[in-house]
Structure 1
Amino acid sequence: MTTRKMRTPTFPRLPKGPNGGIQLMLIQNVEHLGKAGDVVEVKPGHANNYLLPEGLAIVATDHHKRMVDKHRAKLAEIEKQRLASLRQLADQLSKQSINVEANANDEGHLYGSVGATEIVSALKANGFTITSEQVRLEGVLKELGLYTVKIQLHQEVGTELKVWVVPTAAN
């Protein structure tokens, strides 16, 4: 019986940076890494497991660098408009006060807790669309009352929102 040697599939090599990491160009802003159009150097695992599959970055070739340089002014204008709309949304959110209903005992302690998902659904009912990652809670809310919750829409745009945790209406 002869043994056959299995060939492992070969994938194209990603370009190494000067520090031994993988050089990628960001397509979108990535928190704690860079802005769209930046060439960054990351560890191979971060590139292969997160940035490339999620479509947040591409391989930094000379062609891509030239294209970004050519369109940098257009990208800056788009980002400026996006920031302006986020600032407007932050201004509207700061004027809002939302109610979140929760089951509570007579002393005002909640049987469960109120977290970011409940706040996001209450905002959605009022016509605002944000993600639960944008809600910055110190911890879950476990008592009835008024809370000030931080909302981080962008690295540069944040606001505060008044959240009333009220008891569920008895039927």
Structure 2
Amino acid sequence: MKIILTQEVSGLGAPGDIVEVKDGFGRNYLLPQGFAIAWTKGAEKQVTVIKRARSAREIRDLDHANEVKGQLEGLKVNLKARAGDGGRLFGSVTSAEIVDAVKGAGGPVLDRRRLEVPGHIKSTGTYPVKIKLHPEVTASFNLNVVQG
């Protein structure tokens, strides 16, 4: 099955890429989740629009990605979340909250869809977070979730 990706899918491609996947994977996961659209000649024309939007928010080049990586790895990111007794959170920490915490700590503006969080963060503590800045550059930093 031929599809056009609308979001980055780990191990498959970036938005705007036309990829061939097994029918079940495309029909049961990628299309319902909104990660892809079915390939048609008309949809292929939309690829240019998707790629133009991606290039506007993407990190420009490898040097810029390494510069942002240096900023992130030296950053102490604290996130205040409502928690009950024992440090258990009311809900969980979202990727948008992590991006806001990085921005509040003086870090660069990040794309929340590129964050790789280790499962659901549902208690206070320190968690390793990775972000894919460039196809060749992945930065990591520690997120400290505190009761607030």
More strand by share: 2
SS in 1 for 2:130: strand
Q: What letter is aligned with 2:46?
A: P
Instruction: Give the TM-score taking structure 2 as reference length.
Output: 0.64
Deviation above 6 Å: which 4+ runs of structure 1?
40-44
- Distance of 2:62 and 2:90 partners within structure 1: 39
The superposition leaves residues 96-140 of structure 1 with CA deviations (integer Å, 9 ceiling, x where unpaired) of 111100011121110111121110011122241001111111222
Instruction: Give the TM-score taking structure 1 as reference length.
Output: 0.56
Higher relative contact order (CA 8 A, sep 6+): 2
Partner of residue 92, structure 1: 71
RMSD of aligned residue pairs (Cα, Å): 3.4
Deviation at 1:49, TM superposition (A): 7.2
Partner of residue 95, structure 2: 116
- Distance of 2:83 and 2:118 partners within structure 1: 21
Q: How many residues align?
A: 117
Q: Percent identity?
A: 29
CA change 1:137–1:33 in 2 (3 A) is closer
Deviation at 1:90, TM superposition (A): 0.8
Larger radius of gyration: 1
Deviation at 1:52, TM superposition (A): 3.1
Question: Unaligned stretches of 5+ in structure 1?
Answer: 1-20, 23-29, 58-80
SS in 1 for 2:96: helix
Partner of residue 46, structure 2: 53
More helix by share: 2
